[in-house]
Structure 1
Amino acid sequence: MIRTAFLAAALMTTTALPANAVAQTAPAQEQTAQLNLSASGEVRITPDQAQVSAGVVTEARTAAEALRANSQRMSRVFSALEDAGVQARDIQTSQLNVSPVYSQPSSRDGGTREITGYSARNTVTALVRGMDSVGPAIDALFEAGANSLNGVTFSSSEADAAETEARRRAVAELYETRDLYAEVGGFTIERLLNFSESGGYAPQPVMFSRAMMMEDSATPVSGGELVVSITVNGSWEIEG
């Protein structure tokens, strides 16, 4: 009886092994053949407006004096922008702060720094519509008392239309390339698996130096061209 039970147990163990082996060596699921492509569409447009960021920096013995002097000069800056044809809705305060001014550390006093005064900074951002008005607007800012120019960014009021056209060109190029691959490769397109977009419109920043505004005539500006580029990506299931 003992030998019979042992033999039965051994046979059960032996017959279980092939089942485990079959489960481990089952073929993996067949992967779907895919075609992955990218294409870009580009449109070039001429800027017709610019965002100008400038302001006033003043220093005084106390914070109140620095802010008071700054406010007086900024009032003239706002008036100058409006006189230059910039609409009130296109003028916005983008930064206003007052901070202490410290002395240079000295070895005689242990390297400590003392507050010697205060600095007030007020920055305005203005949207100037019309490229012919950009130079005169910058001149008006500095003639009115501005002493800080952070930069000029060119843009276009037609950016949305340019983006739409760039998308049309990108998609047309993508599908034309897809059909070419299918024809030359001898396979068929079954269905769309994935579609995405990247890129778009970005205004063009241009930095100015104070030396550029020392001429008698209006500050010269050139917007050049803005490039609107859209990239589309597509994946399709294919059958060979």
Structure 2
Amino acid sequence: MKSKQLIATITAVLVIAVTLSVVYPTEASAQEVTPFPSREKTISVTGTAATQVEPDLLHLSFGVETQEKTAKEALEANSSLMNTVVSAIKSAGISEDEISTSSLNIYPVYESYQEKLTGHYKQELVGYKVSNILNVDTNKLGLAADIIDSAVSSGVNRVDSVYFTLSPAKHLQVKDDLLAKAVLNAKSKAEKALSPLEHHIIGVKFVSLSEFGIPAPMPMYAAFDMAEGMAMKSAPTPVFSSDQDVSTTATVVFIIGSN
């Protein structure tokens, strides 16, 4: 009988102990474990690289504007002139795959007038204007003056821009070269800064590359009338290319350690 009472007492104690351990967790388990602070040491450095590059692409944008009483007449007149222009620049050495249409617009032209009786201003349709703009992209940089002169002499009455730039292939080549130099420049700066501190680079944590910096093309704007265009036959248009400054940066976070 006593043994049964002893077993019952022990069982009750165990049940109470288990219940308390569930309801009231121990102090050690209740405490939030604070993560061990990181001892990783880093240095952030921005490297730069720049160079001058000779352009290998010539871009020209020019066109023909015509105005007639009807849209059909304006388009026909424009098309006739533009066909002459295309033939002329092809004769100057430009191939058809170097020519593309930038825009073709047809829009009405109105003139404003004031009614004598009411004094109100009204608009009257006086015709239609057609504007056809061509782009020429070529690696024949020396033909810039010939292209402009031929185009204007054959009917072009607006020249929007002429500039020299980098072709996509050369752009990529220069970009890859400069990015590598910028990263090496960042590493060199970090090593020079760490040397007197008796630290050295042991790894790389982060790298951020900037966009390739190339100055916007400097277009030469011009407007011509037909009389000026004919006069240009005896005086070639002077057009010169120049080297372009290009640059890039790379920010590198190095992991460092003591010597």
TM-score surpassing 0.5? yes
Q: 2-side partners of 1:72 and 1:99: how far apart?
A: 18
Q: State the structure with more CA Rg.
A: 2
Residues matched between the structures, number: 221
- Aligned AA for 2:72? A
Q: 1-side partners of 2:253 and 2:119: how far apart?
A: 70
Among candidates 150, 158, 165, match of residue 155 of structure 1: 165
Say which is worse superposed, 140-149 or 111-120, in terms of deviation.
111-120
User: For residues 202-213 of structure 1, what are the structure 2 equivalents within 5 Å?
Assistant: 202=214, 204-210=217-223
The answer for the alignment partner of 2:151 in structure 1 is 141
User: For residues 80-159 of structure 1, what are the structure 2 equivalents within 5 Å?
Assistant: 80-104=88-112, 106=114, 108=118, 110-157=120-167, 158-159=170-171
> Which whole-Å deviations, capped at 9, do the CAs of 1:55-103 have from their partners, x for residues lacking one?
0011111111111111111101111111111111110011001011121
- Aligned AA for 1:207? M
SS of 1:68's equivalent in the other structure is helix
Identity %: 24
2:244 matches 1:226: yes
The answer for the alignment partner of 1:186 in structure 2 is 198
Asked whether the 8 Å contact 1:43–1:165 carries over to 2, the reply is no
SS of 1:153's equivalent in the other structure is strand
Asked whether the 8 Å contact 2:199–2:256 carries over to 1, the reply is yes
> Which whole-Å deviations, capped at 9, do the CAs of 1:125-174 have from their partners, x for residues lacking one?
01132222111011111011011111012124533332232223212211
- Alpha-carbon deviation of 1:41? 1.0
Q: 2-side partners of 1:127 and 1:230: how far apart?
A: 26
| Inter-CA distance 31–96: structure 2 relative to 1 (3 Å threshold) | farther
- Alpha-carbon deviation of 1:238? 3.4
- Aligned AA for 2:222? S
The answer for the alignment partner of 1:40 in structure 2 is 48
| Inter-CA distance 182–155: structure 2 relative to 1 (3 Å threshold) | same
Q: 1-side partners of 2:74 and 2:56: how far apart?
A: 37
Q: 1-side partners of 2:46 and 2:119: how far apart?
A: 65
TM-score by length of 1: 0.79
| Inter-CA distance 73–188: structure 2 relative to 1 (3 Å threshold) | same
| Inter-CA distance 110–30: structure 2 relative to 1 (3 Å threshold) | farther
Asked whether the 8 Å contact 2:160–2:222 carries over to 1, the reply is no
Asked whether the 8 Å contact 2:99–2:137 carries over to 1, the reply is yes
Is there any run of 5+ residues in structure 2 with no aligned partner, and where?
Answer: 1-26
The answer for the alignment partner of 2:76 in structure 1 is 68
Q: 1-side partners of 2:87 and 2:218: how far apart?
A: 25
Asked whether the 8 Å contact 1:128–1:134 carries over to 2, the reply is no
- Alpha-carbon deviation of 1:104? 2.8
- Aligned AA for 1:59? Q
Q: 1-side partners of 2:123 and 2:146: how far apart?
A: 43
- Alpha-carbon deviation of 1:109? 5.5
| Inter-CA distance 27–48: structure 2 relative to 1 (3 Å threshold) | closer
SS of 2:221's equivalent in the other structure is coil
Q: 2-side partners of 1:185 and 1:115: how far apart?
A: 80
The answer for the alignment partner of 2:256 in structure 1 is 238
Q: 2-side partners of 1:230 and 1:237: how far apart?
A: 23
Q: 2-side partners of 1:114 and 1:235: how far apart?
A: 68
For the aligned residues, what is the CA RMSD? 2.9
